[in-house]
Amino acid sequence: MRQLKEKTLKKEEGEWNNETSMIIVNPTSGKEEAQDYAEKAATELIKIGYTVTVNETKKEMDATYFCQDACQEKFDLVVSAGGDGTLHETINGMVESDYRPTLAVIPLGTVNDFARALRIPLNPEKAIQVLQSTTTRKADIGKVNEQLFINVIAAGKLAASLSEVPSDEKSKLGFLAYVKEGFKTLVGNAASPLTITYDNQRWEGDSILFVAALTNSVGGFEQLAPSAEIDDGLLHCFVVKDTNWFDTAVVGTSLLTGNLENSRHVHAFTAKKIRVESTETITTNIDGESGTSLPIEIHLLPSHIDVLVPEST
């Protein structure tokens, strides 16, 4: 196992059930209360018989390395305590593994789309109580080129600008920080030529934004794809065409009413395999973070992981 900081806790010998869990915590999340939440989660898991390993991330990719170790050591449960970025890295620790532990989520970020989609409480204290649950749900995962994503991938100049939102603004403004950055991009020439091939169909044209979502919650907004379910075996995709200011407002209204797929300014479709390319250099936004440049290949991995969810979900 990699020599990264860890702490292992367990009940007295004879009082535990040999199940192992790993808490991967980003200590800078949750208004810097993440370590306290990790300790509370560890205590909860010990109560129900787990041996607990607590690993704190220090730099980029630590969560991925920790999760790789959890897969190799066949841990029963991996708990991601952090934001969507920490969760994205954690999931990518499973990319090459045939064995995948059950996943639990303690949402400590700004948006927490995956937790929203699975109705995991956004209050960390309540999310910790979900660790007592015996209910799991299958979740689809997306694969873009050689990495996994758990919620959404977007492409276009608007998507690239959203990757540049500073962390302090996200903490202060939440979803409005993305709106602010998007508005600045739309002031200029935001459209790019895109060619999108999906399930033997093709779309070509100028677009300000392409989105492929696994869940109904994107950027904390739960009306982008209201019919999307985490286990429906589909990527829910939207291509926002090149629009003027008035048409952009119309698209915004369709988004607010959960009717985006019926807007004449939007090409909406579902698919399991997609290729996106452009004659321009276009970067992507993957699970809220800056991603690879086009071209990209997107594949759906149906029911790829088991997630611990509240009993009533």
Concatenate the DSSP letters of all residues of 3-49 into one string.
Answer: ---EEEE-PSTTSS-SEEEEEEE-TTSTTTTHHHHHHHHHHHHHHTT
Q: Which of 19, 222, 289, 297 is catalytic?
A: 289
What is the enclosing helix (H) or strand (E) of 307? Answer: strand 296-308
H/E run at residue 208: strand 201-213
Q: Which amino acid, residue 58? A: K
Which H or E element spans position 52?
strand 50-56
Whole-angstrom Cα distance, residue 77 to residue 104? Answer: 7
Cα–Cα distance between 178 and 225 in angstroms, integer?
Answer: 18
What the block records as the tokens of 131 is: 């660790």
Cis peptide before 166 (omega within 30 of 0): no
164 carries an active-site annotation: no
Residues marked as catalytic: 289
